[in-house]
Chains A and B, each alone.
Chain A
Amino acid sequence: MPTIAFEHIYKDYGSLRVLADLNLSVDDGEFLVLLGPSGCGKTTLLNMLAGLQDVTAGTIRIGEEDITELDPKDRGLAMVFQSYALYPTKSVRGNLKFGLAAQKLDRAEIDRRVQWAAELLQITPLMDRKPAHLSGGQRQRVAIGRALVKNVDVFLFDEPLSNLDAKLRTEMRLEIKTLHEQTKSTIVYVTHDQIEAMTMATRIAVMDGGVIQQFGTPDEVYETPANLFVAGFIGAPAMNILDATITSSGPQASATLSDGTKIDLSHYEFTANPNEGQAVKVGLRPEHFDTSGKGGVVSLTLPVASRERTGSDATIFLKFGDDLIAVRAEPAEARDVMVGDNFAVSFPAGKLNLFDAQTGQRM
């Protein structure tokens, strides 16, 4: 069964190099999400896998086969596009059938597959409609159906949910995930939406500036971000990142925040040994704060700058010098907090992230 491998991939647009020596390998049956801000090269990578863009240098393999120079139709892939890209003059049935245009199948097999996909996606009543007479969610289903009928092992999705409204997006997210579990196929999914990535992926490749910043499971990427970019990009509200200096190293390591608050690092699992006086960045996720203000490795008592409620959660923003620290709180708790009040929080050991201020890498 196929694994997908990108080996030493380079991509130039004229004199602009967008990807340099990129390596990535996806196991069979994985749901890989390429996540990153606009212009990070994730769609370029997907298009190169699909064969829609040329590779400047490097090799792409599916299984053992080198597919770098193959025609898109011969790669055994199916793709779902952001704009759905349905053929406007064809009916839903015609759209699904054209998905099989490159495969030489007899009529009975074509009908069987079209019917199977239609039933799986519950679009059977829409089969004779034109795309213009479908809603956004229905178009999305047809686009997925056109990919499904091909009966391939690898599916590519290019931001397929970004044109849907919030409610439909949640529904389709679940459907795509269920589909992945049913078909056991390999999926490569491009998005800039971290919630899609966190909920659907078995593994996430976080990209920025044409470089894969971190490649891991959603838990790994969230709990132990490899660098400052990943730490800041994943999570909403974003991780609080504070400047600090290492004051002592060794088993009783500690650091000091810019306001003099001491941080106990004796429980922190260093991946690189710190030096005394080294500038570091401390990353604290808003939801890990203990609002009782007791225990932990850092204790802070700070004035409240503002608070906001986001449905099931609430966030309290504390003034820390010129910065704000976001703290997740229970809505009931946040309601009683007044702007300007002092609010005490502490941060537990083991949840803290530490980065080298110079390189941005995890320590």
Chain B
Amino acid sequence: MSTMTDNFVPRRKKRITGRSIAILAFLAMCAAFFCIPLYVVIVTSFKTMDQIRLGEIFSLPVTWTLEPWREAWSEACSGIKCEGVSAGFFASLKILFPSLILSLSVSSVTGYALALWNVRWAGTFMFILFMCAFVPFQIIMIPMIILTGKIGVYGTIWGVAVVHAVLALPILTLIFRNFYKDIPGEIMQAAIMDSGSFWRIYREIILPMSANIFIVVLILQITSIWNDFLIGITFGGLNNKPMTVILANTVISATGESSYNVDMAAALLTAIPPLLIYFVLGKFFVQGITAGAIKG
């Protein structure tokens, strides 16, 4: 024991240096940049209009009230309808599921074919697809309206779903393809010798191995579909306005006094679903994007 204590020379603790203080200060500023507006939105949504009129936007609510939230959900006026953002919530859900199913199924099968089967001109196809990812939506919006009109889905849920699927196809196909590229070649060779069927191999071998990447793509797609405004307002028609559209109308179209507390509550209500998805699936998201090779 004595020799051990004799040799016991503690290492010096790491000291806080000027550099680390600077880094911390910078990071704190970055955090504040996002947190301060969020703070204002949250506290405003719990205030009464009487307190808001005083103009102290950073103060905490004097009396906490849930009334703006209730009003935002079920009574706030968007245009001439006064049903709150709840109508938009259900419309968004109705848009979300067909869009997800369509975009995920098409892009995962395309990625699977490009990665694991000998597709003629696969390289060229990938290049064109990659270029498509950079085309702004606004450029092809009018042709898309004509196209969806021709196939009879313009102004319906499926019209929105088709447009979401088409626009997401380049980037999602790339993600799926890069994931499937890492599946060991011998597994695919074995499957080709055992079955040889494109769909059966996809269904029984490849799909069960894709859980991680599906969660990554699911989160990306849910966020982008839920937060979308332009596709929903353009292709959904009058009866399928998503939550974002209802929210915008609520905030813009108030006559007389603006109910800031109701607007803030409506904005938060609209933002909550993707946040929830992140909280629930966030763990898998990190696993998914770091999962490189699949160990056989």
Contacts and interface: CB of A to CB of B under 8 A. Distances in A.
Interface of A: 50-52, 71-74, 77-79, 81-90, 98-102, 131-132, 146
Interface stretch (B146-154, B187-195, B276-284): B187-195
A73 B189 CA distance: 10
B200 A87 contact: no
Nearest to A98: B194
Interface stretch (B26-34, B203-211, B212-220): B203-211
Contact of B195 (A51, A82, A83, A98): A98
A120 B191 CA distance: 23
A89 B193 contact: no
B186 A72 contact: no
B79 interface: no
Contacts of A79: 189-190, 193
Interface in B171-202: 184, 186-187, 189-197, 200
B296 interface: yes
A98 B204 contact: yes
15 contacts: A50-B193, A52-B193, A73-B194, A73-B195, A79-B190, A79-B193, A81-B189, A81-B190, A85-B189, A87-B187, A87-B205, A90-B205, A98-B194, A99-B194, A102-B194
Given A85-B184, A87-B205, A78 B193 contact: yes
B294 to A, nearest CB: 7
Contacts of A81: 186, 189-190
Nearest to A132: B295
Contacts of B295: 88, 132
B198 to A, nearest CB: 12
Interface string B261-296: 000000000000000000000000000000000111
Contacts of B208: 89-90
Contact of B193 (A73, A82, A90, A131): A73
Contacts of A85: 184, 186-187, 189-190, 296
Contacts of A71: 196
Interface residues of B, number: 20
Interface of B: 184, 186-187, 189-197, 200, 204-205, 208-209, 294-296
A244 B192 CA distance: 54
A72 B193 contact: yes
A88 B294 contact: yes
Contact of B296 (A51, A73, A88, A98): A88
Nearest to A78: B193
B112 to A, nearest CB: 15
A72 B193 CA distance: 5
**Which of B184, B186, B191 has the largest number of chain A CB atoms within 10 A?**
B186
B190 A101 contact: no
Contact of A72 (B196, B200, B204, B294): B196
Nearest to B193: A72
Nearest to B189: A52
The 7 closest A-B pairs by CB, nearest first: A73-B196, A101-B195, A89-B208, A85-B186, A85-B190, A81-B186, A72-B193
Contacts of A90: 204-205, 208
A237 to B, nearest CB: 34
Given A88-B296, A90-B208, 12 more contacts: A52-B189, A73-B195, A78-B193, A81-B190, A83-B186, A84-B186, A84-B296, A85-B189, A88-B209, A90-B205, A101-B197, A131-B296
Given A83-B184, A83-B186, A84-B296, A89 B192 contact: no
A84 B194 CA distance: 13
B143 to A, nearest CB: 41
A74 B187 CA distance: 18
A164 to B, nearest CB: 15
B200 A101 contact: yes
B193 A83 contact: no
Contacts of A83: 184, 186, 296
B118 to A, nearest CB: 9
Contacts of A87: 187, 190-191, 204-205
B196 A102 contact: yes
B191 A77 contact: no
Nearest to B183: A88
A101 B197 CA distance: 9
A100 B193 CA distance: 10
A132 B296 CA distance: 7
A236 B52 CA distance: 91
B196 to A, nearest CB: 4
Nearest to A158: B186
Contacts of A88: 187, 209, 294-296
B134 to A, nearest CB: 32
Contacts of B189: 50, 52, 79, 81, 85
Nearest to A89: B208
Contacts of B184: 83, 85
Contacts of B191: 87, 98
Contacts of A102: 194-197
B7 to A, nearest CB: 42
Contacts of A73: 192-196
A78 B195 CA distance: 11
Contacts of B190: 79, 81, 85, 87, 146
**Which of A88, A99, A100 has the largest number of chain B CB atoms within 10 A?**
A88
Nearest to A72: B193
Contact of A89 (B186, B194, B200, B209): B209
A72 B296 contact: no
A49 B139 CA distance: 51
Contacts of A132: 295
A86 B190 CA distance: 8
A51 B186 CA distance: 13
B192 A86 contact: no
Contacts of A89: 205, 208-209
